[in-house]
Amino acid sequence: MKRDSRLSGVLHVLLHMAEADGPVTSEVLAVAMQTNAVVIRRIMAGLRDAGFVRSEKGHGGGWTFACDPEAVTLRDIYDALGKPSLLAMGNRTEAPGCLVEQAVNAALSDAFAQAEALLLGRLGEVTLAMLSADFHARMAARPGTTQDHGHEH
Amino acid sequence: MKRDSRLSGVLHVLLHMAEADGPVTSEVLAVAMQTNAVVIRRIMAGLRDAGFVRSEKGHGGGWTFACDPEAVTLRDIYDALGKPSLLAMGNRTEAPGCLVEQAVNAALSDAFAQAEALLLGRLGEVTLAMLSADFHARMAARPGTTQDHGHEH
DNA sequence: GATCACGCACTATTTGAAGTTACATGAAAC
DNA sequence: GTTTCATGTAACTTCAAATAGTGCGTGATC
């Protein structure tokens, strides 16, 4: 089962933007993420609609931050991505009337729901500012790194 | 992102077997699960290797229980399936040397690990016997149902 | 020895994500 | 104003992973 790395990816993009002075184009972000500009636009659309970032057209355009990093949590970002399913396993639903299936699903759903709630809670405790601070700490700890992002893409 | 229903499915199969007197063939289970006999054999292979079920060839052959339902938990079944990933989201690993990526991954990995641990703990608390008891309770509560499995596949 | 059932390797199909192209819209530069 | 740059979207095209299916081998029962 393949894992979705959109959340991870979008956070990567956001940290990039946070470091930049002005707007960053989809093209530039795409290179950093080793993907296509259209993919970046697609993934950012939700964040734009949610008001976390802004996009500008034309010369000098691109993506800019539009929120207070202290106030936005990873949970908010997750929501803006469309709340993709967190769990890789789910219930069978092919025989809803089957009592065996009902018994199985009841047992699993409980555990699944609890794990999901825990995960969402944790995501809600981490702000973008904390992530950014962690990144800066790592950069400071790394010898011989200058003012760039420490990237080796 | 599509969800894996193997655990749910295999539990369904096990409850079926628990109700049956003698061996149940892959063919019969496949019909109940609306799938192919080979799929059943594949999914059961892990359980057989783990010693939870036994398979017999030839006339009157098929699958039989080989464990104490009181002693086997959903966690054990999960393990026997090869411990497929529980979470639908994962870390990006395309730029392992990137400090931004490291910061992001560190933040997410923590939360992911906790949720996974919680889920595994819950699965470890439920035995096959409990599942079976729940099924019987549901059947008793259903009016007009006889001794069959209450299936409407 | 004929039939039945599992075991396994191999092939085929499906499905969903990711990448690409194409074109429209809007903003700044010239 | 027209040229250039950048986003917004809608197709369309790969591409890879998961699932399903086929064929044949092995062993057990009738």
Q: Give residue-wise pLDDT tens across range B43-61.
A: 999 999 999 999 999 999 9
- Contacts of B102-105 spanning 24+ positions with Cβ under 8 A: B102/A138, B103/A15, B103/A131, B103/A134, B103/A135, B103/A138, B104/A8, B104/A11, B104/A12, B104/A15, B104/A131, B105/A8
Share of chain B above pLDDT 90, in %: 79
Q: Which helix (H) or strand (E) holds A63?
A: strand A62-65
Interface test with B, best of A94, A104, A123, A149 (most B CBs within 10 A): A104
Query: Could you tell me which of A77, A91, A93 has the C-alpha nearest to residue A127?
Result: A77
What mean pLDDT is predicted for residues B131-153? 71
User: What average pLDDT does chain B have?
Assistant: 90
Q: How far apart are CA B102 and CA B93, in angstroms?
A: 9
Residue B94 pLDDT grade (very low, low, confident, very high; cuts 50, 70, 90): confident
pLDDT higher than 80, residue B144:
no
pLDDT one digit per residue (tens) for chain A, 153 residues: 889 999 999 999 999 999 999 999 999 999 999 999 999 999 999 999 999 999 999 999 999 999 999 999 999 999 999 999 999 999 988 777 788 889 999 999 989 999 999 999 999 999 999 999 999 999 998 765 544 454 444
CA of B25 to C1' of C5 (A): 7
Say whether the CB atom of B141 is under 7 angstroms from strand C.
no
Query: Could you tell me which of B61, B10, B60 has the C-alpha nearest to residue B35?
Result: B10
Instruction: Write down all domains in chain A, each with its CATH number in brackets.
Output: 6-141 (1.10.10.10)
Residue B95 pLDDT grade (very low, low, confident, very high; cuts 50, 70, 90): confident
What mean pLDDT is predicted for residues B79-90? 94
What mean pLDDT is predicted for residues B133-148? 76
Say whether the CB atom of B3 is under 7 angstroms from strand C.
no
Taking the C1' atom of every nucleotide in all shown strands and the CA of B27, the nearest one is C5
Token duo for residue B42:
């594949």
Tokens 């001794």, residue located = B147
Give me the pLDDT at residue A140, please: 93
Question: Largest Cα–Cα distance of chain B, in whole Å?
Answer: 64
CA of A141 to C1' of C16 (A): 41
pLDDT, tens digit, 9 for 90 and up, residues B6-57: 999 999 999 989 999 999 999 999 998 999 999 999 999 999 999 999 999 9
Which residue from B minimizes the CA distance to A18? Answer: B100
> How far is residue B99 CA from its own chain's centroid?
39
CA pseudo-torsion sign A104, A107, A110, A114: negative
Residues A18, A65 contacting (CB under 8 angstroms): yes
Residues 66-125 of A with CB under 8 A from B: 74, 84-92, 94-95, 97-108, 110-112, 114-116, 118-119, 122-123
